[in-house]
Each structure stands twice: as structure tokens, then as C-alpha cells.
Structure 1
Amino acid sequence: MPGNGGGQGTKKKSAGRDLRAAIGVGVGLGVVIVASLFIYKPVFIGVIAVAVVVGLWELTSRLAERKDIRVPLVPLAVGGVAMVVAGYVRGAQGAWVAVSLTALAVLVWRMTEPPDNYLRDVTAGVFAAFYVPFLATFVALILAAEDGPWRVLTFLLLTVVSDTGAYAVGWRFGKHPLAPRISPGKTREGLLGAVAFAMVVGALCMQYLIEDGVWWQGLLLGLAVAVSATLGDLGESMIKRDLGIKDMGKLLPGHGGIMDRLDSLLPTAPVVWLLLVIFVGGG
């Protein structure tokens, strides 16, 4: 799974994490995800739903601990699962209905508590609904295509390769910070590495994995993924800096929490879905 350390400079060669544990957990997650993806599509929908619920739990827990923002988890979790399932079964229209009902449920659920900070809490709740389950629903939309497993595999490969390229090139050659106030370890050289790696793998995936795809479409897809994955990583770094934390959780040894693995994937999913629809159709 993608990491959140992409594009680190030479002064960041020691990330302070257990590398063996990180690799072991990453490989294990990869095996489970790929196996569920190609064995039976609904099983992979279950994997997405579990990741969404755990991610929401981590995010709402950190908001409560660090900012005393009380976001109602139950309607978010139920609505998040509903979004993913509705997106897979009923398409984009179903996902929009589910997210609208989830936002309404958050507003109503919070009414059972005192009105103090009501607006703050429900605003954070609606943000969480869009940030985690709604963006994750685009993975279900990708999967719903006839060749959905190959499209999802392409999406995952490109995001992982983008983050890996950013880390490898930034670790070795990084000298110029990309966004020092948000993530000091990220470098411009790392971003170029992400773009180069993702474009090459994108061309290969579109040519050999996606029906009716051609290599030049993969170059554009890889470029878009590198940009969206980097922005997603920076976005979560911004949230964590505001909260004053290093990781969203401790569930995955060497990786942090589930949200620390989803940071690049979530904003990349709608980008990949849209470009694949444009290039080869909805399937």
C-alpha cells in the first residue's frame, strides 16, 4: 500500500519506522487486496467498506482527542458502507443519494446532544463523509465495470508506484523542498520521480491491462495520478499538522493507521475513474 513518506530528502533517510514490519504488512495487505479483487468482486467491496469504517473511526477519534470535535461515528459508518454499496450497485446516482442521506443523518444524530458547538461538529461530520467514504466510493465505481478488477489493479499500482517513485528519488536526490510548511520531507525531485514512475507504469497498464486502452492514455493517467496522490498526501499532512499528530492511528505496524495508507488513494480514485471513463468508457 502507498506510504506517506514519498519524496524525502537525504536528511530523512531514517524515517523512524520499523522497515521490516512496514514491508511485511504492506505485502500482506497487497496479497489480501489482490486476492479479494480477482476472486469475487463483492468481497473486495467488503474490503473497501471495512477500510472506510476503520478510517472514519481513526479520523473521528483524533478529532475528539485533539480538538474536542464530537463527530457522530455511527451515522457516518453506516452511511459510509451504504455509499460504497450504492455506488457499486446503482452507480454514481446511488452514491450521491447515499452521501446526501448520510449528511442528513449526521445533522439529526447530533441533535440528541446539547446544542453547544453543533455547527462545528456537524461541519466536521459532513467533511468526514466526503473525505473518506465518498471518495472511496469511486473505487467501487471503478470496480463495477466489466473489466473492473483490472481497472482497480491499475489504480492501485499507479498510486503505489507514484509514492514509491517519490520516496526513492527524493531519498536519493531530493534537495529542494516541495511544501516545507506542510511536509518538510517532500521534495521537488521526489515529485518528478513520482511522475516518471507513474507515467511509465501507466503506459504499460493501459496498453496491456485495460481493454481498448493505448499507451499514450497511460502517460496522461500516470501524470494525473502522481499529482493527485501527492496532493492527497499533502492534504492529510495538513490535517495531521493541525491536529498535532504524526499518524492517524497505530493499527498497522510500520505504517501508522488505515488513514495513513488511504491518504494518496482517496483523492486519486475519482481522478482514475473519470479518466478511464473518458479514455475507454464506463465499461
Structure 2
Amino acid sequence: MLKSRLITALILIPIVIAALFLLPPAGFAIVTLAICMLAAWEWGQFAGLASSSQRVWLAVLCGLLLAFMTFTLPAYHPVHLPLIAGSLWAALGWWIVALLLVLTYPVSAALWRSSRALRLLFGILTIVPFFWGMVALRQYHYDSDHFAGAWWLLYVLFLVWGADSGAYMFGRLFGKHKLAPKVSPGKTWEGFFGGLVTTGIIAWLFGLWAPLSVSPVTLLTCSIVATLASVLGDLTESMFKREAGIKDSGQLIPGHGGILDRIDSLTAAVPVFACLLLLAFGTL
């Protein structure tokens, strides 16, 4: 399992980085839209959609919704447009609610377990803001520097990857105290703090070498909150998988499971980071 995970990661990471820097914003948005459609297809399991046809329709409707939202905007999407800004602020609100659901699980599940509509709403609040967070960050200062947004997205990706890898290594070596045993028994507090240490090192290195033109306080604040959000995104998906009675959201990525298994942390970290950086701190 570990060998296949490493091989898949070594193949996918260069492809992702190439897409960040080589694709124009429109092409990047199309690729992100396709990823969101696959995520919606997998989310159908969490919402209780038993048949494949129902899940396909959910993916198609998600794609049509995002495409319609995109076509209603100008070619260059300023983040302060109500549709984009509203999506990012909604993400911030949703992940605060998700934190409460995770902290009080399994009691909280009684509120949404029997409601398919509510579980679908949770999916919309997870996938749609993720799409706009990716697009907004990629288009950051695109008119003056075509690669500024790519650097920001790469930074967030490295934060999330670093938190995940650090948590895995520290958890395996030192893990004793369970972080959220009722949601994800394998995660530990030692792994959690190990992930924070790893992301701190990544933030420091990026601050030294990458062209991230923002104050250290803003960068530190956004980075810490985004890292915490990434952990929450992982725990939230684990909670929904536990309720659905499945181990992985899919089998699309060898050794890694499904699309949601790979982007669960990003679905929280990306929109939260974009909301803080671009709207809360006004780094436009």
C-alpha cells in the first residue's frame, strides 16, 4: 500500500505543479471543474445515493452549476464579485459548523443522518467554495504577473501536503493520544502537532525563497488557519465515510482511494486560505 501511494504521488505531484504554472486560467478552471464533478460523484455515497445513475446525475448537475456560475462572470473574475466572495465567506461559515459537527460526533449525526437534502447541502458547501477558492487564487494578480496565483496555490498545496505527511510520520513514530477517536481512530495529537511543525518549516522556506508579496503576520495567520482547516477537512470526510459505512470514497487513485480522499483537506484549506488572504486581509 505504501509503495503504491509513493509511486502515485511521484507521478501526480509533477502533473499538478505543471498544471498550476502552464495552464491558462480558463484551462485551469476546466480541470478544477472536472475534479469537482468527480468529487460530487463520490459525495453521492455520503448523501445516500445508492445507484450509480443518481451519482452520475449529481456530478453532471454539479458541473452544470459551476459552469453556469463561471459563464455569468467576466473573463477575469475579481474576487470581490458577490458570487465568488459569497462562496468563500460561506465556506468559512460551513467549516465552523463542520468543526462543531466533528467535535460533537456521533451525537451531531442525529441532526443530519436521516436528511438526504442536508447531506447534499453539505456537499455543495464543500465543493463549490473549493472550486472558487482554486480559481480565485490562480487568478491572483494575473493581469500583472501570470504566475503570482500559481505560487500561492503551490504554497497552499505544500502546506496541506506537509501537514498530512508530517502528521503521518510523527503519528507513526510517537502517536499515543487519539485526536478524534470517534471520527478517525488513527489520528493522534502527536501527529497533529507534527503536522503543524512541518507546515511551519514549509512556511518559513517559502517566505525566504518564493515570491509571496505579503506581510509576515498575514502569511502566518492565513497559514495557521489553513493548516487547521486542512485537518478539519480530513476529519469531516472521515465522519461522513463512517456514517456511510465505507473506507474510501472511491478507487480512482491507486493506493490513495478516491478523489475526495486526496482533496478532503484541500476542500477546507483552499477556500479558507483564499477567504482570509483575499477578503479578510484585503490582499487584492
Q: TM-score, normalised by structure 2?
A: 0.76
2:283 alignment counterpart: 281
Q: Distance in 2 between matches of 1:176 and 1:122?
A: 36
1:113 alignment counterpart: none
Q: Aligned with 1:264: secondary structure?
A: helix
Amino acid in structure 1 at the alignment position of 2:13: G
What is the Cα deviation at residue 55 of structure 1?
A: 0.6
1:54 alignment counterpart: 38
User: Does 2:29 match 1:45?
Assistant: yes
2:191 alignment counterpart: 190
Q: Distance in 2 between matches of 1:213 and 1:97?
A: 23
User: Does 2:61 match 1:75?
Assistant: yes
**Residues 223 and 273 of structure 2 are in contact (CA less than 8 Å); yes or no, is this contact kept in structure 1?**
no
CA deviation profile, 1:38-96 (whole Å, cap 9, x unmatched): 1123332222111101110111145345699x675132221134446768843342437
Q: Distance in 2 between matches of 1:157 and 1:129?
A: 25
Instruction: Tell me: CA distance 1:84–1:206, structure 2 relative to 1, closer, same or farther (3 Å).
Output: farther
Q: Aligned with 1:195: secondary structure?
A: helix
1:93 alignment counterpart: 82
Q: Distance in 2 between matches of 1:211 and 1:63?
A: 39
1:267 alignment counterpart: 268
Instruction: Tell me: CA distance 1:207–1:274, structure 2 relative to 1, closer, same or farther (3 Å).
Output: farther
What is the Cα deviation at residue 275 of structure 1?
A: 3.3
What is the Cα deviation at residue 172 of structure 1?
A: 0.5
**Residues 251 and 258 of structure 1 are in contact (CA less than 8 Å); yes or no, is this contact kept in structure 2?**
yes
**Residues 46 and 243 of structure 2 are in contact (CA less than 8 Å); yes or no, is this contact kept in structure 1?**
no
Q: TM-score, normalised by structure 1?
A: 0.77
Long gaps (5+) in structure 2: 89-113, 142-147
Q: Distance in 1 between matches of 2:46 and 2:275?
A: 32
**Residues 135 and 266 of structure 1 are in contact (CA less than 8 Å); yes or no, is this contact kept in structure 2?**
yes
**How well do the aligned residues superpose, as a CA RMSD in angstroms?**
2.9
Q: Distance in 1 between matches of 2:160 and 2:14?
A: 16
Instruction: Tell me: CA distance 1:178–1:153, structure 2 relative to 1, closer, same or farther (3 Å).
Output: same
1:102 alignment counterpart: none
Instruction: Tell me: CA distance 1:158–1:97, structure 2 relative to 1, closer, same or farther (3 Å).
Output: closer
Q: Distance in 1 between matches of 2:208 and 2:273?
A: 16
Q: Aligned with 2:47: secondary structure?
A: helix
**Residues 87 and 132 of structure 2 are in contact (CA less than 8 Å); yes or no, is this contact kept in structure 1?**
no
Query: 1:68-217 alignment to 2 at 5 Å?
Result: 72-73=57-58, 74-83=60-69, 89-90=76-77, 91=79, 92-95=81-84, 120-146=115-141, 147-217=148-218
Instruction: Tell me: CA distance 1:276–1:85, structure 2 relative to 1, closer, same or farther (3 Å).
Output: farther
Instruction: Tell me: CA distance 1:222–1:200, structure 2 relative to 1, closer, same or farther (3 Å).
Output: farther
**Identical counterparts, % of pairs:** 29
**Residues 36 and 44 of structure 1 are in contact (CA less than 8 Å); yes or no, is this contact kept in structure 2?**
yes
Q: Distance in 1 between matches of 2:236 and 2:70?
A: 22
Q: Distance in 2 between matches of 1:84 and 1:98?
A: 13
Amino acid in structure 1 at the alignment position of 2:135: A
Amino acid in structure 2 at the alignment position of 1:21: S
Q: What is the total number of aligned residue pairs between the two structures?
A: 246
Amino acid in structure 2 at the alignment position of 1:166: A
Long gaps (5+) in structure 1: 1-17, 100-118
